[in-house]
Structure 1
């Protein structure tokens, strides 16, 4: 039996909850499918020492300020999970879990969402599955030869798991810097980056990044020159643990190696570093396999959108995947505006 609703939201993390908030305010009938067994989205799966870039008040979803965490300027991941759990309950959002969407299909005037617990038909769909579930590891020569452990960011938990080992951390973004700083004390660390690490000024945090992304959106809306958004800034927010490790001289990056060997990594000049483990902090790709039946991907795998609305299927919106679906839309504070815009467009469509 296929059940029916106005809107299906796929994903119960921060983007899905923000969408639910605005759909509820517009009086639409909707359901949210969350593949996770518990609230909190990807935040419940991060490494132990992860903290936000911004104070709590600047890390909030629409309608509900995140309360400060006692003793912390920048809340940790557990505090975010507690906030998202409370947010979901406070607004009585209809989250069904664990429910995994396996395919979205056109079905006449409706979209049919097939899940592992049955099918739903909807007049519109918001995909808000994020990127955490699709980690990217580059095809480096020799990767299958390495005999040690290989982890991605999504699998790293604690420095204590690797204490005393030779560890290579690959990646010059925030995850790479934070995990390298985490490991700088108790391991023999080699940090490898494609280019020299670029730190933002020490007084810049997520508040400034959001303001920069918002200024870019305003400039584009007014027909002015593209400022480049957050991507035009440097790569690493110098949160306190990163700053401390950097200033102590424990975060010295090496250039990218050319291949892996059975015992470690090797550079073009033949220099070799032994490794017990390699941690790939090399980013993510949008988790969009459930949209495959719609055939929306372009030649390079990108789904063209106007804002959050997909061009080839106006009943479908993409939310929270990065700047291409709304400025700073992959952040807690940044997802509110594109979520509001998506909900309003859907309400107009349904009318």
Structure 2
């Protein structure tokens, strides 16, 4: 496709959030296109590390309208099963997905928003940004990072422990990815797991369904002016999925405090203690991938786009979906994105009816 095309709504991103938005736009009878930078369906899930599993059983990990099927032999489906589910979901509803199409910028253009891509431009009455965070990994500014001579990689680049067998590996990060990757490496590497504060495991019986309910209750309390419940953060930081639980209970998942700097062959703590390392894996999180929205000049002083629900305050034709609690309780999860996707679609339908 080249040239200039028109539609009512452009969805930027063909992962779980973009598909959930497409489902609800289709139900409302709106015309839309999904522009996905990936060559294949499945969003970020197709790039995850080999041992990654969902936090919830399949029954509690579904997009709207289509339950995720069970995975044989697995209580918590793996990333490959999620990719297969998203692929089938997209085909089932015959969504108008164009890929690979990379969006370079969204611009105001009179009564339209103009979406520039590497294969032409689109004019739309509304845009849903659903690009997620996987494509913008965050690396902290730790002194000496440029001096370290070993291998450094982020969560997005880690695949499995085979390439690290017998090596001295430092895993940095006290969230779910840090705990899961540390557990992955604990049996065949000399592992040092480093966290900013002591790791806090959620109760073993808590999974993604319960987390979604807690996040939703917190959002409801805030919306009604009641006391902040603390949400998921009040329960802990790490979901004790089976591999993490087993490694923890075996005494192999013990965290050290954060080091203060790297040097050529390892890391150094505040008291002068050193540990040699062949590799450092930074499980230090992500930032929203929003560079395509820069032409709209919506970011505030701290780079944050103000929203009411999913709608951008200063550009009501733009909705942001799937970036976490910022754009809806648990909206970065499979089960959590359905509700804000529905709300966004309804607001867009109302806007187009004017």
TM-score, length basis structure 2: 0.98
Say which SS state the counterpart of residue 220 (structure 1) adopts. helix
Q: Is 2:183 the partner of 1:181?
A: yes
Residue in 2 that maps onto 1:96: 98
What SS does structure 2 have at the residue aligned with 1:65? coil
Distance 2:330 2:179 in 1: 20
1:127 aligns with 2:129: yes
1:4 aligned residue: 6
1:331 to 2:351 alignment = no
Is 1:73 matched with 2:75?
Answer: yes
Partner of residue 118, structure 1: 120
**CA displacement at 1:75 relative to structure 2:** 0.2
Q: How far, CA to CA, are the matches of 2:296 and 2:331 in structure 1?
A: 23
Deviations 1:152-192 (A, max 9, x none): 00000001111111000000000000000000000000000
* Structure 1 residue 214: Cα displacement: 1.7
Alpha-carbon distance in 2 for matches of 1:12, 1:122: 17
In structure 2, what is the equivalent of residue 52 of structure 1? 54
Secondary structure at the counterpart of residue 315 of structure 1: strand
3-state SS of 2:319 partner:
strand
The one of 306, 317, 320 equivalent to 1:318 is 320
Separation in 1 of the partners of 2:91 and 2:4?
A: 27
Distance 1:324 1:146 in 2: 35
Q: CA RMSD in A?
A: 0.7
The equivalent of 1:153 in structure 2 is: 155
Other-structure match for 1:207 = 209
User: Following superposition of structure 1 onto structure 2, how do residues 153-302 of structure 1 map, counting pairs within 5 Å?
Assistant: 153-302=155-304
Deviations 1:187-246 (A, max 9, x none): 000000001110001111111101101212332343322222223321000011001110
For the residues of structure 1 that align with 2:184 and 2:164, how far apart are their CA atoms? 11
Once residues 165 and 199 of structure 1 are traced to their aligned partners in structure 2, the CA distance between those partners, rounded to angstroms, is 27
**1:257-305: CA deviations, max 9, x gaps?**
0000000100111111000000000000000000000000000000000
Deviations 1:82-106 (A, max 9, x none): 0000000011111100001100000
Structure 2: runs of 5+ lacking an equivalent = none
Q: What is the CA-CA distance between 1:327 and the residue it aligns to?
A: 0.2
Deviations 1:62-113 (A, max 9, x none): 0000001010000000000000000000111111000011000000000000
TM-score normalised by the chain length of structure 1: 0.99
* Structure 1 unmatched ranges of 5 or more: none
Question: Hey, what's the Cα distance between the residues in 2 that align with 1:77 and 1:11?
Answer: 18
